[in-house]
Amino acid sequence: MFYLQKIIKWSPAIIIFAAPLYLVQLKFGWFSTNALEILMAGFLLIWLFYSFALFFVTPAPRPSVSAQGGEGGKAGVQINLGLASRLEFTLTLPKGGNDRKEAWRSQFFLPIILILAGALSSSLAVADPKTSFGILKSWFVLPALFGWAMADLIKEKEDIKRILIAWISSGVAVSLISLIYFWQGKFTFDGRLAAFYLSPNHLAMYLAPAFLVSLVLGFSSQKLKEKFIFFISCAAMGIAIYFTFSYGAWLGILAGILVVIIVLYFVTPAKAGVQARINLDSRLRGNDTKKFFIVFIVVILLIILLFLGNSQKFINLVNFDRSSLQSRLMIWRSAGLILKDHWFLGIGPGNFQGQYLAYQKYFPPYLEWAVPQPHNLFLAFWLQTGLVGLAGFIWLYILLLKINLSLWLKQKEPLALALLAVLIYILIHGLLDTPLWKNDLALIFAVIIFLTSQIGKFEQNS
């Protein structure tokens, strides 16, 4: 059991580090998968075995009933059904028997169910659901189950730290490999860095969240050694991101940093006087750091403007008739027309390419023909999970933003601020691309969701 505990303890971090292994495709007869999915499935099986072993070894808790104060001071009865640590829920029953309400342990349960239900119903609505079911398994079900199991194993903040180290280390490893491609002069036809990814945007979308987490935690750390490691990590990832010339990623990162600055210097913490609970370096709100942040933004903008003119992609952008922006506008118009015919159930995950080509007859010749996704996060969810899935996603995203902002304002938790920056990045980049619709990105989003739920748990218990 000791060795099993060790394996279970380290498995989430190892899988997060190995997220790019989704590119290693495997096929067993009619069944297609990849190395990342096999790792996640193996971890889930071990976790289930471990959970059932604990369930049968440890005496099961009996349902308990206790009196408690309800809303407005009214007494109520709390019934706790201790079936399993992640399946517990609470029923608060007012004494009068009216206004019965369920308070689920996780606020994310219902929106996640809506997303899954939307994706499933959209998959069932298409003529050939094979592709949709494959994506449903890879980008929805497995990441959600992985995040659930990961959260179940987080018992203390050290467990969260291990996950963060794996996340950032994965970004650094990918960046170093990408820089080898850079030194060897291996670029795309338009002079952009893609490394072993299918496109430069895929590389940028994987590195950007880890870059922001490393940046915020670097500024928040009080240990010089940690600061150095975080900033070196940022430098490696930042160089790789720059040479992708992914303007959506650049805009998203700058927006994330801008929100951090606004929250730090213009939003008053709810518990600003409780110094004992502040984990952030006291100098973070000082004049020196404020100046550094401003200089940092200015330097980044100057570097971008200095080298931008030499980019083939920038030249194409200036030539608006053939630019990526003009191509996206055409893609969005086509997506809008598809939505008119499939506004409720959508077209099923993974079916945008076929529908996009089918609707070409209503438009002039496309500038871009190979378009697996609609280059907009909200269009992607609406088209591929239907109106129900889109509603669930918007609900979930609002919750994530609200909870992480609240955790920062109430507890001054640096990780919450870092995740808030990542969420802003995804939101802004998602206006131009689909930074969640890929195996590794779906995994990272699941990590963000369930880390948020665990930070909240520690905040409530503190």
pLDDT given at position 216: 93
Last residue of a domain, one of 44, 79, 104: 104
> CA 408 to CA 272: how far, in whole Å?
11
Q: Are strands 64-69 and 31-34 parallel, antiparallel or unpaired?
A: unpaired
- DSSP reduced 3-state for 32: strand
pLDDT given at position 100: 33
191 shares a domain with 98: no
Last residue of a domain, one of 82, 104, 126: 104
Residue pLDDT, tens place only, 405-425: 999 988 888 999 999 999 999
146 shares a domain with 84: no
pTM above 0.75, yes or no: yes
pLDDT band per the 50, 70, 90 thresholds, residue 372? very high
> CA 179 to CA 185: how far, in whole Å?
10
Contact 116, 50 (CB under 8 A): no
186 shares a domain with 307: yes
Residue 279 DSSP one-character state: -
Residue pLDDT, tens place only, 169-181: 999 999 999 999 9
pLDDT given at position 362: 92
422 shares a domain with 308: yes
In this structure, is residue 348 part of a structural domain?
no
For 40-94, where are the E strands, in sequence order? 64-69, 75-80, 89-94
For the chain, how many residues are written?
462
In this structure, is residue 262 part of a structural domain?
yes
82 shares a domain with 160: no
Angle, CA of 429, 430 and 431, to the nearest 5°: 90
> CA 208 to CA 226: how far, in whole Å?
20
In this structure, is residue 167 part of a structural domain?
yes
269 shares a domain with 405: yes
> CA 193 to CA 191: how far, in whole Å?
7
The more confidently predicted of residues 241 and 368 is 241
In this structure, is residue 112 part of a structural domain?
yes
98 shares a domain with 162: no
> CA 215 to CA 235: how far, in whole Å?
9
Q: Kindly write down the DSSP assignment for every residue of 299-345, as one continuous string.
A: HHHHHHHHHHTT-HHHHHHHSGGGSHHHHHHHHHHHHHHHHHHSTTT
Last residue of a domain, one of 81, 104, 127: 104
pLDDT given at position 316: 56
> CA 282 to CA 273: how far, in whole Å?
12
> Is the predicted pLDDT of residue 82 greater than 70, yes or no?
no
The more confidently predicted of residues 457 and 274 is 457
172 shares a domain with 98: no
In this structure, is residue 428 part of a structural domain?
yes
The chain-wide mean pLDDT, for the chain, equals 82
Q: Please, what is the angle between helix 377-411 and helix 109-124, to 10°?
A: 170
pLDDT given at position 5: 80
Q: Tell me which residue has tokens 């096929």.
A: 27
> Is the predicted pLDDT of residue 97 greater than 60, yes or no?
no
Q: Are strands 89-94 and 75-80 parallel, antiparallel or unpaired?
A: antiparallel
Q: Which stretch of DSSP H or E encloses residue 27? A: strand 25-28
> Is the predicted pLDDT of residue 459 greater than 90, yes or no?
no
160 shares a domain with 83: no
The more confidently predicted of residues 63 and 333 is 333
Please tell me the chain's helix, strand, coil percentages from 3-state DSSP, rounded to the nearest 5.
Answer: 70, 5, 25
Residue pLDDT, tens place only, 208-263: 999 999 999 998 888 899 999 999 999 999 999 999 999 899 999 999 998 998 88
The more confidently predicted of residues 346 and 103 is 346
In this structure, is residue 284 part of a structural domain?
yes
pLDDT given at position 24: 96
96 shares a domain with 118: no
pLDDT band per the 50, 70, 90 thresholds, residue 353? very high
**Range in 36-50, 71-85, 138-152, 406-420 the model is least confident about:** 71-85
Which residue range forms the structural domain that includes residue 221? 108-322+369-457
> CA 201 to CA 245: how far, in whole Å?
8
How many CB atoms within 10 Å of residue 130? Answer: 11
Where b means 16+ CB within 10 Å and e means fewer, 414-443 reads bbbbbbbbbbbbbbbbbebbbbbbbbbbbb
Sign of CA dihedral 384, 387, 392, 397: positive
pLDDT band per the 50, 70, 90 thresholds, residue 368? confident
pLDDT given at position 79: 40
What percentage of the chain has pLDDT greater than the value 70?
Answer: 74
> Is the predicted pLDDT of residue 388 greater than 50, yes or no?
yes
pLDDT given at position 287: 53
**Range in 250-259, 276-285, 412-421, 436-445 the model is least confident about:** 276-285
pLDDT band per the 50, 70, 90 thresholds, residue 275? very low
> Is the predicted pLDDT of residue 165 greater than 90, yes or no?
yes
Q: Please, what is the angle between helix 439-461 and helix 2-17, to 10°?
A: 120
Number of domains in the chain: 2
pLDDT band per the 50, 70, 90 thresholds, residue 80? very low
186 shares a domain with 250: yes
**Range in 3-7, 27-31, 131-135, 329-333 the model is least confident about:** 3-7
> Is the predicted pLDDT of residue 65 greater than 60, yes or no?
no
In this structure, is residue 218 part of a structural domain?
yes
> Is the predicted pLDDT of residue 273 greater than 70, yes or no?
no
Write the CB contacts of 204 (distance below 8 Å, at least 6 apart in sequence).
241, 244, 246, 248, 249
> CA 103 to CA 284: how far, in whole Å?
37
In this structure, is residue 8 part of a structural domain?
no
396 shares a domain with 261: yes
pLDDT band per the 50, 70, 90 thresholds, residue 49? confident
User: How far is residue 117 from each of residues 15, 61, 120, 121, 389, measured CA to CA in Å?
Assistant: 26, 32, 5, 6, 7
Where b means 16+ CB within 10 Å and e means fewer, 212-226 reads bbbbbbbbbbeeeee
